[in-house]
Amino acid sequence: MTTHGDDAWTGLALVVGTGGIGSALTAQLKQQCQGLRVITAGRQGSPAQDLCLDLERDGDLEALTETLRAESDELRLVVNATGRLHGPGLVPEKRLKQVGRSALLEQFSINAIAPVLLARAVEPLLQRDRPFHFASLSARVGSIADNRSGGWYSYRAAKAAQNQLLKCLSIEWRRRWPLATVTLLHPGTTDTDLSKPFQTFVPPEKLFTPLRAAEQLVNVLLAQEPEDSGAFLAWDGQPIDW
């Protein structure tokens, strides 16, 4: 896989997460990078998945390593499109009194710990002389410098932790796998189940469809080179302050 040319991306791509953005990324990669064979992974019961993978289960991650090792195509791209903002018993906090241990642990588990353990699972497939790209969805609200409104304690903190973990990863891989690129991506507010309860005050022109978000993210990925590894980028390719 080389960048600056859609057709130059060849080999195997893995998209982890089959929600709105993950599914759209899979479709966009298949359309735009026809040299890639794109497979998907998601939790049991997720729609349109090729592999069953729960990033919060160590056994699943260990099995993923062996599954990918058995593939005939060389692994060139992994995109983590998972994330959690709300759910049963999990609501973004508005005040300190709403912060609790269980919510913090749940947010960190999928939004911070899972991405770096996914990277650990695929690392045995890397080759020093072959390009490889690892990308993961982050969020602008994970930026400490950009935080002007507060709230959302556990989600903000978990995304900031992911940023730090993958920044560390990019530095290590730069030494060990010089052709590897790590990118953190902010997709913008996208019309998915994750953002649905919080779209009221989002201007229509700033609420992206999953298709538009995927197109923008793939274009950003295509422009990244190993010397750019460790970047935290918005959907338009602009850097975001840590």
The mean pLDDT value of the chain amounts to: 91
Q: Show the domains of the chain with their CATH numbers.
A: 77-234 (3.40.50.720)
DSSP secondary structure code for residue 123 in this structure: G
Cα separation, 154 vs 103, in Å, equals 7
* Helix, strand, or coil (residue 148): coil
Contacts of 157 (CB under 8 A, 6+ apart): 104, 107, 108
The candidate with the shortest Cα–Cα distance to 56, out of 19, 93, 107, 13, is 107
Q: What percent of the chain has pLDDT over 70?
A: 89
* pLDDT for 205 beyond 90: no
DSSP secondary structure code for residue 181 in this structure: E
Q: What is the pTM of this model?
A: 0.92
In 10 A of CB 229, how many CB atoms? 23
Q: What percent of the chain has pLDDT over 90?
A: 80
